[in-house]
Amino acid sequence: MMKDKKYLLIPGPTQVPPRVVEAMSRPIIGHRSAEFQGVVERVTGKLKKVFQTENHVFILGSSGTGALEAAVANLVNPGDKVLALSCGKFGERFRDLAKIYGGEVDFVDFGWGYDIDLNIVKKKLEENPDIKVVLATQNETSTGVQNDIEGLGKLVAQYEAVLAVDAVSGLAAIDLKTDEWHVDVVVSGSQKAFMLPPGLAFVSVSDKAWKKIEQNTSPKYYFDLLKAKKSIAKWNTAYTTPVTMVYGLEAALDMILEEGLDNVFARHKLLAKATRAAIQGLGLELLAPEDCASMAVTAVQAPMVVDADTLRKVLLRDYGVTFAGGQDMMKGKIFRIAHMGFADKMDVIIAISALEMALGKCGYKAELGAGVREAQMVFVGGDHA
């Protein structure tokens, strides 16, 4: 067996295309040079197309969590009422950041495996007109849940509150019309659907959000978006940006835009549909209901006879396939299969075929080929649609 042959199917970091790796191998240049200013101008324009916005979009040298902190640090003043909406690990992270910056947080937990209920959000906003910021997650990778950001954005836009959305794992995989849906702050990261290594984060800011940012008194330095706004006027970044990562970002954005956003979203939808069909064909249960299941990652409940983490070890040891495990209360209970970014039909087929064999080794007798067949049927139907 070729021990070095690996198949990475986790929700970040994801596979990096050869075209992106090649771009990152170019000779480095000065981050304050006129040449790099041209790169930043081009890349920012392409980022805006993926964000579907005319708002400012900033590139930060950080993880996605850095962008989350940037959003909170610039929006939340000590004592501000913050409505934090959560259906998993990363909704909780947004809440924790708001608390650290002194927000008076109303935390609404919709439960792991469930999506945001807009009726509850509307009631909260009606009863608390002094809410300043609403925090939500587009794609909750810990549970494989996708939230209705269009509905949420149009709802929050009716109030004084500013909406900030964690789209770290969803942007460039799942449709998010920033301007049309009235999403004030959108944050994302490089290592998910953007098909890059970890190290870059992105933030878009609406005019409504700028009014709040300009009045913000929370302490910050590196993540000060007013500094970022001042720098981008000259196509600079406030601080040193990883130059080679920006080269790779441009290559990745070119791939996304050449494929076309609608085609990118349709591809992710098809891969998700095939993965869910395969899982059900094996007699396994999905964590998220069909009506809110993510197009970027599928969370699967391990059968009673199998520990999810043991299954993952067998998958990696015997087949070179890496799935993600459960987090916190879901540890050992679920496994997660990502199908985002540089992913295609054969990634799903490999994932499911390896899963069938690994399940057998762990004591769950699935019919070999049952899941693969269901995935193939979806793909054949998708090809002929």
Residues of CATH 3.40.640.10 domain(s) within the chain? 18-258
pLDDT at 2 over 70: no
Overall average pLDDT of the 98-125 stretch: 98
**pTM of the shown model:** 0.96
Q: Which two tokens stand for residue 107?
A: 């935390």
Model confidence at 385, pLDDT cuts 50, 70, 90, reads very low
Q: Which residues pair with 135 in a beta bridge?
A: 84, 164
In this model, does residue 3 exceed pLDDT 90? Answer: no
Task: Tell me: pLDDT of 384 over 50.
Answer: no
**What is residue 173's DSSP assignment?**
T
CATH topology of domain 18-258: Aspartate Aminotransferase; domain 2 (3.40.640)
CB 146 within 8 A of CB 138: yes
The band of 354, judged by pLDDT with boundaries at 50, 70 and 90, is very high
Mean pLDDT of the chain: 96
pLDDT in tens, 302-350: 999 999 999 999 999 999 999 999 999 999 999 999 999 999 999 999 9
Handedness of CA 24, 28, 31, 35 (dihedral sign): negative
- Residue 263 CB contacts under 8 Å (≥ 6 apart), including other chains: none
| Portions of the chain given CATH number 3.90.1150.10 | 7-13+260-384
- Which own/partner pairs from 327-331 qualify as long-range (CB within 8 Å, at least 24 positions apart)? 327/89, 327/142, 328/89, 328/142, 329/112, 330/112, 330/142, 330/143, 330/287, 330/299
| Consecutive H or E run containing 81 | strand 81-86
Q: Are 192 and 15 in contact (CB under 8 A)?
A: no
Domain 7-13+260-384: CATH superfamily, name plus number: Aspartate Aminotransferase, domain 1 (3.90.1150.10)
For position 183, what pLDDT does the model report?
98
Residue 62's SS3 state is coil
Could you read off the pLDDT of 185-242 as tens digits, one per residue? 999 999 999 999 999 999 999 999 999 999 999 999 999 999 999 999 999 999 999 9
Structure confidence at residue 4 (pLDDT): 80
Question: What is the pLDDT at residue 382?
Answer: 67
For residues 228 and 236, give the distance between their C-alpha atoms in angstroms, rounded to a whole number: 8
Q: 312-319: long-range contacts at Cβ-Cβ below 8 A with a sequence spacing of 24 or more?
A: 314/358, 314/361, 314/362, 315/354, 315/355, 315/358, 318/357, 318/358, 318/361, 319/7, 319/354, 319/357, 319/358
Distance in angstroms (rounded) separating the CA atoms of residues 133 and 103 = 9
- Does pLDDT of 82 surpass 80? yes
- The pLDDT assigned to 1 comes to 54
Per-residue model confidence (pLDDT) at position 288: 97
Is 336 annotated in a binding site? The answer is yes
| pLDDT tens-digit readout, 42-74 | 999 999 999 999 999 999 999 999 999 999 999
